[in-house]
């Protein structure tokens, strides 16, 4: 016998909210890691190319910028896909004939 009717629903809702929060935190951490590591990897590749070709900071700067811009563009497309998925089937997204 439960002390309060409907307590199971509140516990389940709390669990779902915590799970959603944990998923969002993990996703944000993955995005932050990607923002930090990708340009560094590209800059490292640029450093190797610069040493091999004798062109000091050219490839480091170009490839680091390329990596950062690529991560930014990828993040924009991920966001757009998430918004479309979230709004799928909503009344304001239905097309009129």
- pLDDT (tens digit per residue) in 1-30: 455 555 565 666 688 888 888 888 899 999
Lowest mean pLDDT among 18-22, 63-67, 78-82: 18-22
Report pLDDT for 30: 92
Q: How many helices (H) and strands (E) does the chain have?
A: 2, 0
88 — alpha (psi -120 to 50), left (phi > 0) or beta? beta
What span, in angstroms and rounded, lies between the C-alpha atoms of 7 and 87?
Answer: 31
For the chain, domain boundaries? 7-93
pTM across the whole model: 0.70
> 27-51, pLDDT tens digit by residue?
999 999 999 999 999 999 999 999 9
């Amino acid at each position: 016998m439960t002390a309060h009717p409907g307590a199971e629903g509140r516990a389940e809702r709390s669990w779902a909210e915590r799970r959603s929060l944990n998923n969002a935190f993990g996703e944000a951490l993955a995005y932050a890691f990607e923002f930090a590591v990708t340009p560094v990897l590209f800059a490292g590749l640029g450093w190797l190319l610069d040493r091999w070709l004798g062109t000091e900071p050219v490839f480091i700067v170009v490839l680091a910028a390329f990596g950062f811009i690529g991560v930014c563009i990828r993040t924009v497309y991920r966001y757009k896909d998430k918004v479309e998925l979230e709004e799928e089937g909503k009344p304001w997204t239905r097309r009129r004939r």
